[in-house]
Amino acid sequence: MRKITFDIETSNLFQDVGSNDPAKLALSVVCIHDSETDKYSSYLEEDLGKLWPILEKTDMLIGYNSDHFDIPLLDKYYPGDLTKIKSLDLLKEIRASLGRRIKLDDIAEATLGKNKTAHGLEAVVWWRNGEKDKVVKYCLEDVKITKELYEYAVKNGHVKYREGTFIKDIKLDPTNWETLVHSSMTHTLPF
């Protein structure tokens, strides 16, 4: 099964566009890990034509808050419909189990013993200051954390979070996560 773990950073904020709709935001970079090649890569808006064939050949997209944020934003740039690809949103799975949302940083710290390298708001400032390399590096780190959390959850059936002084498990059922689902993908290129 070919899995693409991904994350997106934007060049603006919801307050800039006067809406909470992710599709109203502008993309700065998309970073991915491709399970087929075991490589990480990044794509600026002008590089998206190189990303589409990769996504079209994937069996599953893996992200954190990706169904609500990343996919709707990226889909506005894609000439087809990315929602046709199977998606595993770790935040959605956590919320279904725990009944509430938890930040990626909090799950990473309790589960993996590591923190995110920055915050998305900082990435927007970096982008505006022309520090694109910083944004790409930050986005790649989020992809690495998301990939490691996914692998941990598949192996252990849970992730962890801190509640007060206690570290607690969030039970997850990864049984069907890697079940192949054939989609009616709209392709941008002839194959």
Strands (E), 113-186: 158-163, 166-171
CATH number of the domain at 19, please.
Answer: 3.30.420.10
Whole-model pTM over 0.85 = yes
186 part of a folded domain? no
The β-bridge partners of 68 are none
132 part of a folded domain? yes
**Each residue's pLDDT tens digit, 31-59:** 999 999 999 999 999 999 999 999 999 99
In the chain, the percentage of residues whose pLDDT exceeds 70 is: 95
Residue 148 vs residues 9, 42, 66, 108: alpha-carbon distances, Å: 19, 18, 16, 9
The answer on pLDDT for 66 being more than 70 is: yes
96 part of a folded domain? yes
Q: Are the C-beta atoms of 4 and 55 separated by less than 8 Å? A: yes
Q: Are the C-beta atoms of 74 and 51 separated by less than 8 Å? A: no
Q: Are the C-beta atoms of 84 and 185 separated by less than 8 Å? A: yes
- In total, how many domains does the chain have? 1
**Each residue's pLDDT tens digit, 136-181:** 999 999 999 999 999 999 999 999 999 989 999 999 999 999 988 7
178 part of a folded domain? no
163 part of a folded domain? yes
Domain residues for the domain of 153 are 3-171
189 part of a folded domain? no
151 part of a folded domain? yes
The answer on pLDDT for 186 being more than 80 is: no
